Amino acid sequence: MKLQRHGTIACLALTAVLGLSACGSDNNEPATGASASGSAAAADCATGTLNAQGSSAQKNAMDEWIKAHQQKCSGAKINYEPSGSGAGIQAFIAGTADFAGSDSALKPEEQPQADAKCTDGKAIHLPMVIGPVAIAYNLDGVDNLQLKPATLAKIFAGKVTKWDDPAIKADNPGVTLPSTAINAVHRADSSGTTDNFTNFLSKTAEADWTFGKAKEWKAPGGTGANKSDGVASAIKGQAGTIGYVEWSYAENGGLKMAKVANGAGEFVALTAESAGKTIAGAKVEGQGDDLKMSIDYNTKEAGAYPIVLVTYEIVCGKGLAADKLPLVKGFLAHAASTEGQAALTELGYAPLPDSVRTKVESAVKNLS
């Protein structure tokens, strides 16, 4: 697989940044019970079927975890539909998903609706996937594009429409830019990636981005594409195109990615190490086993790439159906283990900082 070329380097880089010590874990080893280090999934393999849906950003991570878990637990069948964060949340609320993947936390009005599905409990957020968001582009002859947040805001707001616009030239001194029209691609469906990207713009380029943050795209113009793979395909298919998409999809599509300026004004390329530096500064702001996180998009950390998102598994902390509980706990225990997290580095994701991973692992054990 194309992404595997940076897996070992990425894992080593994140070891240095986050203190993760699971490089080289073998996903095919049999489960031997949860250890103190979290290197193995739950010992007991439940039998039955789980149905989950939501974030397309975590699809590649889910595919890897499902494959590894079902190799260990042949009686467990896990179905995950990458329908988008908004659709996943609605499926959870409707009772058709046993848990939902979402790239943003439940809205205040969604929380009580989700809670209503949990007998004697609440729906909680378990951060499971760290997905750096790439600014991917297709522009002949330009291989090292770099953009400030304000320039990105102008492009996606439709204020900058040509590649040789003075704003882009100012970010790229000495680079010959064509007069090609810009085709800015955004998600057409309700998307946690859009929620995070527009949150980034609203926090870092307030003067130029006046459309706030939301799962639904609010700015005029541009081209809409469904789901992450649709955005990646749209960028690859037309010269002059730019879009925001998870790193794994940009890598899989062989897309060029722009350097993005962080809060210190440093243009930084997207790597596991540069994303990890931003992740390391994220704070858990939820209470108890509800582990909602807050990311500083204006990070001034040297070498930090500023656009990263957290994908949550939204699940009942208490009140899970008796026939689903062991299945949910077994699968999410694998995802939260050092083994499960280490596997992500080969797929264009960054593993959870171990300080966060251990909290997620503990919250999974507490599910009831």
Annotated binding site: which residue ranges? Answer: 55-57, 85, 103, 191-193
Residue among 69, 53, 64, 133 at smallest CA distance from 101: 53
Annotated binding site for phosphate: which residue ranges? Answer: 55-57, 85, 103, 191-193
**Alpha carbons 239 and 219: distance in angstroms, whole number:** 22
**Alpha carbons 341 and 338: distance in angstroms, whole number:** 5
What lies within 8 Å, CB to CB, of 299 at 6+ separation is 262, 263, 277, 278, 281, 306
Q: Which DSSP letter does residue 350 get?
A: B
**Alpha carbons 143 and 233: distance in angstroms, whole number:** 19
Residue among 211, 209, 219, 210 at smallest CA distance from 185: 219
DSSP run (H or E) holding 99: strand 99-102
**Alpha carbons 228 and 111: distance in angstroms, whole number:** 25
**Alpha carbons 221 and 238: distance in angstroms, whole number:** 17
